[in-house]
Amino acid sequence: MLTLILPDATLALNSTTLAILGGIVPPPSSVPPYFNTTPLIQLYSITANKWLDPVAPLPVALNHPNAVVVDGQVYLLGGLADTRDGVWRGTGTSWVYDPMSNEWSRLSGMSDIDTPRGSAAVGVDAHTGLVYLAGGMTQLPLVEDDPLGQDSVDTVSAFDTRRGMWVVLPEIARQMSGRRDNAGVTVVDGVLYVLGGRDRGKENVSGEVFALDLKDLEKGWVTKRGRMPTPRGGVCSGTVGGKVYVFGGEENLAEGSDGVFDQVEAYDTKTDTWESLQPMKVPRHGGAPVDMFDVFYP
Ligand SMILES: *[C@@H]1O[C@H](CO)[C@@H](O)[C@H](O)[C@H]1NC(C)=O
Ligand SMILES: *[C@@H]1O[C@H](CO)[C@@H](O)[C@H](O)[C@H]1NC(C)=O
Question: pLDDT (tens digit, 9 = 90+) per residue, 206-250?
Answer: 999 999 999 999 999 999 999 999 999 999 999 999 999 999 999
Cα–Cα distance measured from residue 92 to residue 202, given in angstroms and rounded to the nearest whole number = 23
Q: Is the CB of 43 under 6 A from ligand 1?
A: yes
For residue 138, count CB atoms less than 10 angstroms from its CB and return exposed for 0-12, middle for 13-18, buried for 19 or more: buried
**Which residue type occupies 296?**
F
Q: Is the CB of 177 under 6 A from ligand 2?
A: no
CA-closest candidate to residue 79, choices 41, 158, 133: 133
Q: pLDDT band at residue 6, thresholds of 50, 70 and 90?
A: confident
Q: Which of 13, 42, 295 to mutate to test the pocket of ligand 1 (most atoms within 8 A of CB)?
A: 13
pLDDT at 278 over 50: yes
- Predicted confidence at residue 111, as pLDDT, reads 87
Q: pLDDT band at residue 297, thresholds of 50, 70 and 90?
A: low
How many residues are present in the chain? 298
Residues β-bridged to residue 130: 125, 160
- Residue 161: other Cβ atoms inside 10 A: 20
| Ligand 1 atom 14, closest CA | 14
CA 125 – ligand 2 centroid, Å: 31
**Conformation bin of residue 222: beta by default, left when phi > 0, alpha when psi is -120 to 50:** beta
- Predicted confidence at residue 202, as pLDDT, reads 78
Q: Which of 200, 202, 205, 210 to mutate to test the pocket of ligand 2 (most atoms within 8 A of CB)?
A: 200
Q: pLDDT band at residue 293, thresholds of 50, 70 and 90?
A: low
Mean pLDDT over 270-289 rounds to 93
**Is the pLDDT higher at 293 or at 192?**
192
Cα–Cα distance measured from residue 161 to residue 85, given in angstroms and rounded to the nearest whole number = 34
Q: pLDDT band at residue 4, thresholds of 50, 70 and 90?
A: low
Residue 124 is classified by DSSP as E
Mean pLDDT over 153-168 rounds to 97
**Is the pLDDT higher at 181 or at 290?**
181
Q: Is the CB of 13 under 6 A from ligand 1?
A: yes
CA 151 – ligand 2 centroid, Å: 10
Range list of H helices, the chain: 293-296
25-51 residue pLDDT tens: 888 888 998 989 999 999 999 999 999
Task: Indicate which atom in ligand 2 lies nearest the CA of residue 201.
Answer: 14
Q: pLDDT band at residue 264, thresholds of 50, 70 and 90?
A: very high
% of residues, the chain, pLDDT over 90: 83
46-73 residue pLDDT tens: 999 999 998 999 999 999 999 999 999 9
Task: Indicate which atom in ligand 1 lies nearest the CA of residue 102.
Answer: 5
CA 34 – ligand 1 centroid, Å: 35
pLDDT at 5 over 70: no
Topology (CATH) of 9-296: Neuraminidase (2.120.10)
pLDDT at 1 over 50: no
**Conformation bin of residue 42: beta by default, left when phi > 0, alpha when psi is -120 to 50:** beta
CA 72 – ligand 1 centroid, Å: 10
Mean pLDDT over 99-126 rounds to 95
**Is the pLDDT higher at 292 or at 199?**
199
- Predicted confidence at residue 298, as pLDDT, reads 45
